[in-house]
Amino acid sequence: MRLKGIFNRDGGTFKTTDMDAFSGLASNIFRDAGHDFDCAVVRGSEIATTIRQTVDTAGFDGLIVGGGDGSISLAAGCMYGTDKLLGVVPAGTMNLFARSLGLPVDIGDALRALASGKPAHVDVPTMNGRPFIHQFSSGLHATMIRNREKLEYDSRLGKISASTRAWIDTLRAIPEISVSYECAEASGEGAFALVGVANNRIHGSPALFTDRPQGGKLVLYLLKAGEFDSVLGFALDYLGGQIENNENVRVIETEKLTLDFHTADIAQSFDGDPIEEVRHAVLEQHPRSLPVIVPADSRLE
């Protein structure tokens, strides 16, 4: 294949990596596997423009993107609906999308898996037409992210520490969101501490990534607003990957969903990054709409 690589030098792992040596390694691995390959190393501030410009060009079959989940989410959004393959080099903190594709988390091993990999197609939902790969959330999780953004960190461990402190701050003032929801399977309204919509189910995963990237469903998670003990219990289940076992959580699987938020000034996030408030959200699953590269022995097609 004709492949192009874009590596975010500000991604967590890449911050302490000799990027000239890594680019050389990537070139050797892909070329030894019979691919045409060239790559660019860019700063985080440049990656959005570089990805968009590259996707708009002709003459290549796949884009290998190295960085955190933010960079990968951006690339997936640009490549959604095209016929170009996305290859993921997990160089961030959590690397959720790479994990859901079954890729190694070691960046060198990931290169080798991509070079010998095969094409597959995975689901990509949209919110008001905007693609995402993990989740759209309001309330507890989004508030934690907003609180974490106020803290400084420059490493994977630093981000984990900042997230812990941000959770503590969030639980001191638990949000309460008034929202109505409607889909083919259910409808209702109420006050919730968390409203989350995931790209397929995430149960049983402490890292909160789906192991069903071709499941074809949106999953709505609703946590009732209530006493501190119930919310703390949810936070512990959330961190342990057991949110579907929490008695205060309602789980609804659907293919299309409408949310109307009646509470102003609420925290919301999109694939782990804060966003400006959305009051009316139409979410829709698009099964197998993103071409990706997965390991040769993957069950994904």
Is a pLDDT exceeding 60 seen at residue 151? yes
Q: Mean pLDDT, to the nearest integer, of 11-23? A: 91
- The one-character DSSP state at 14 is G
- CA 115, 37, 121, 210 torsion: positive or negative? positive
With a cut of 90, say whether residue 233 has pLDDT above it.
no
| pLDDT value of residue 207 | 59
Q: Measured between alpha carbons, how far is 28 from 90 in angstroms, rounded to an integer?
A: 19
Whether the Cβ atoms of residue 195 and residue 138 lie closer than 8 Å to each other: yes
pLDDT score for 32: 97
* 38-42, 77-81, 170-174: range with lowest mean pLDDT: 170-174
pLDDT at 235 over 80: no
Q: Specify the pLDDT at position 77.
A: 93
Q: Measured over all CA atoms, what is the biggest interatomic distance in the chain, rounded to whole angstroms?
A: 59
Helix (H) or strand (E) holding 139: strand 135-139
Q: β-pairing, 280-294 with 256-261?
A: antiparallel
Name the phi and psi angles at 56, rounded to 5: -75, -10
Q: What is the mean pLDDT of residues 62-67?
A: 96
Q: Which carries the bigger pLDDT value, residue 150 or residue 288?
A: 288
More confident residue, 109 or 11: 109
Rounded percentage of the chain residues whose pLDDT exceeds 70: 94
Residue with the bigger pLDDT between 230 and 247: it is: 247
Rounded to an integer, the average pLDDT of 208-229 is 86
Cα 76 to Cα 63: distance, rounded to the nearest angstrom = 10
C-beta atoms surrounding 72 within 10 Å? 27
Residue 210 phi, psi dihedral angles, 5° rounding: -80, 145
Judge whether residue 103 has pLDDT over 90. Answer: yes
Question: How far is the C-alpha of 18 from the C-alpha of 290, rounded, in Å?
Answer: 31
For residue 102, count CB atoms less than 10 angstroms from its CB and return exposed for 0-12, middle for 13-18, buried for 19 or more. middle
Q: For residue 132, what pLDDT is reported?
A: 94
CA end-to-end span of the chain: 18
DSSP 299: S
Please choose, from the candidates 206, 251, 246, the residue with its C-alpha nearest in 3D space to the C-alpha of residue 229: 246
DSSP, collapsed to helix, strand or coil, labels residue 45 as helix
> How many CB atoms are located within 10 Å of the residue 63 CB?
22
- Which helix (H) or strand (E) is 119 found in, with range? strand 118-127
pLDDT band at 120 (very low <50, low <70, confident <90, very high): very high
Rounded CA-CA distance 219/285 in Å is 10
pLDDT at 206: 57
Find the radius of gyration of the CA atoms of the chain: 19
More confident position, 118 or 166? 118
Q: How far apart are CA 240 and CA 236, in angstroms?
A: 6
In 116-227, which ranges are continuous DSSP H helix?
A: 140-149, 156-172
What average pLDDT does the segment 108-113 reach? 98
Can you give the pTM of this predicted structure? 0.89
Tokens of 251: 């789980």
- Whether the predicted pLDDT of 13 surpasses 80: yes
Q: What is the mean pLDDT of the chain?
A: 90
**107-121, 210-224, 234-248, 287-301: least confidently modelled range:** 234-248
Angle at 191 between CA 186 and CA 195, to 5 degrees: 65
